[in-house]
A and B are shown apart, each in its own frame.
Chain A
């Protein structure tokens, strides 16, 4: 029971990170029907930008409690801006021209972009693990039984709160603003949306930017939670987040969050009760099983095959 509650807390934290990345996959797939393979690496870049910002601010302001809070806030905001810029540039340079091309072209371009980004960071920042000093180590003890303490750390509270807040803002933008309406229109029918005066190119660019901004939140949270980042960190979380998007039903926003939570929970419970070595195998297996047996996911619409 105690282990279960503790793993539940850890799983929800991890799930929040996966859910945030998964939204980027699901939105892009919904609007232009491509798997943005480079999204995981965009997430990794955001963690690096947050790392550099955090180090720069703490180098100037010291390591007091207030300074760390300021550093995290600055890291989050700057990371969101820079990562959005990255995503916008990638869409503009590598994907836009291929939108009308044959189906594999954008996917291959995205794989190339993923390799490019990963190795750019490796060359620019080095191949070693990049740690930050431990921060926010305090925890709240929830209850204790037989010597096993169930605790939630401030980091986890912060991650869950920030995720919930940003998801709320994001939900409002997609559902209630003209921008969100334009996005949903493009998702349904790009040609018709264009005829009705919606700037399709700009709407797609904004979709990439929004996905990247949420990935940047995930990247900053990832850095805060694990305290370390390395250039190859984009691939596995990227695939897991994609799994989350598929599990929730690709194209569906609540589905992405739900899928992220499920993947986070499955991963932590698997590690706790079965084997930590095979946790990535579990994630990849779920991906394969869901795609094979339930390609529409939990909340997605089944795809109708037209002749």
Chain B
């Protein structure tokens, strides 16, 4: 005889409704003033309150329905015995391995695919807004991953190194003395064409130097305090950039930064330009495609370096430091050098990305280096699962690409009226995603770890055994 499934308890609908009503009452209390009344300025600058009861009751209604559905879902799942999650298998690692390879392959053909499907004029948006933008964040995420994911040092001021890189390139490339010196020694056309390629390593080195400089005082700090101090450093650098007008141009920033050339061949419509040299018709798309490949290569170098470093003694020291600093010290690891190398290498990649950013935009100002950027990069690393390269990729595509996609949702205007602009909700959604992700999967999307040292056979390290953030 078959075993009968245990009778499921009937769902307590009255209780659920009571819960939902309570949540709705709370929502009413929270939003009645902030959503129900809007402060507006009239034409003669008088502040007036505009009541919006419709919006308020819609939101309260949504909370009621949402709470009821969540409660119902929990109630019907309550009796079920959760299947014990299988221990992390090498399969997950295999997926990561082949997934990464497939993804890189896809990236190399991406501009061609887009060019083929969207045509030259439509493709710029897809390569620039989606491709390059996401790749910059992937690179920043991989760079920060060295500091946060491998060494376990929570850095909330990573954008400072991004800014150092961007300003190094911008200031060097636009500086008159350097231009004159190069013109007098090599030739007038040399510096505008080669500035990017010469300044890129310089920007990385300067950023690494700043990484050591800012890393040195915070060696003793850990966890939350480290995070707050790095936040303070990031803000100090931004405020200095704003206030030291002679040096950085203040709020106005730096404009007309030279764009990268194709190793000496400029992207313009002249005789010696890229298109003419290669016998092609001139369109701006070549520059965009070239920039895409530049950032792709830069990002891949970051990934390659961080995977290789993980297997080197210094990388093992980073991960050991993340797990237990005191044990590290007892075993004779020089924690000072270990932490400083992590800061310096992470900062260096931030600097590369910054130089690329300045070259791509042609204009930079302190507005691009606010705390929110740091939070966004950190969110990408954390949501991806700290230490996982593929996780960073997935998180960047979801967060950056998803946010960019919001700009494309113009058809929603048909439902919500012309004043509706989906893009203004992007940071709201972004913040909500961060909170929900922490509630749902605090370890990130890909939390399995590949061990770099093993006995006999490779076993994946379950996420429960990884303890980031103690550093």
Contacts and interface: CB of A to CB of B under 8 A. Distances in A.
A131 B38 contact: no
B434 A111 contact: yes
B427 interface: yes
A41 to B, nearest CB: 10
A102 B467 contact: yes
Contacts of B439: 94, 97-98, 109
A187 B33 CA distance: 34
B221 A291 contact: yes
Contacts of A307: 326
B378 A130 contact: no
B47 A55 contact: yes
B379 interface: yes
Contacts of A235: 371
A96 to B, nearest CB: 10
A58 to B, nearest CB: 10
Interface in A24-71: 34-35, 45, 48-49, 51-53, 55-56, 59
Nearest to B239: A281
A278 interface: yes
A295 B442 contact: no
A228 to B, nearest CB: 10
Contacts of A284: 232-233, 235-236, 239
A216 interface: no
B332 to A, nearest CB: 17
Interface in B407-433: 424-425, 427-428, 430-433
Contacts of B243: 277-278, 281
B431 A85 contact: no
B144 interface: no
A35 B228 contact: yes
B214 to A, nearest CB: 9
A123 B425 contact: yes
Interface residues of B toward A: which range? Answer: 35 or more
B41 interface: yes
Contact of B49 (A56, A105, A131): A56
Contacts of B443: 102
A235 to B, nearest CB: 7
A172 B222 CA distance: 35
Contacts of B378: 108, 111
B217 A112 contact: no
A108 B379 contact: yes
Contacts of A97: 439
B38 A126 contact: yes
Contact of A291 (B41, B49, B229, B427): B229
Contacts of A93: 435
Interface string A71-96: 00000001001100110010001100
A292 interface: yes
B227 to A, nearest CB: 6
Interface in B429-471: 430-435, 437-439, 442-443, 467-470
Interface residues of A toward B: which range? Answer: 35 or more
A74 B297 CA distance: 60
A89 B24 CA distance: 12
Given A45-B34, A55-B39, A124-B38, A112 B379 contact: yes
Contact of A52 (B34, B220, B225, B467): B34
A275 to B, nearest CB: 8
Given A94-B435, A104-B382, A292-B220, A78 B33 contact: yes
A235 B26 CA distance: 26
A306 B267 CA distance: 61
Nearest to B243: A277
B298 interface: no
A305 B375 CA distance: 29
Nearest to A131: B47
A113 interface: yes
Nearest to A229: B39
Contacts of B47: 55, 130-133
A285 interface: yes
B39 A52 contact: yes
Nearest to B31: A124
Interface stretch (A114-122, A136-144, A146-154, A191-199): A114-122
Interface string B191-229: 000000000000000000000000001101101110111
Contacts of A126: 38-40
A278 B432 contact: no
Contacts of B30: 82, 85-86, 89
A45, A48, A277, most chain B CB atoms within 10 A: A277
B382 to A, nearest CB: 5
B372 interface: yes
A237 to B, nearest CB: 13
A292 B217 CA distance: 7
B35 interface: yes
Contacts of B468: 102, 104
6 interchain residue pairs of minimum CB distance: A112-B434, A116-B431, A115-B431, A104-B469, A109-B438, A105-B442
Given A108-B378, A123-B424, 7 more contacts: A82-B29, A85-B29, A112-B434, A115-B434, A119-B428, A284-B239, A288-B229
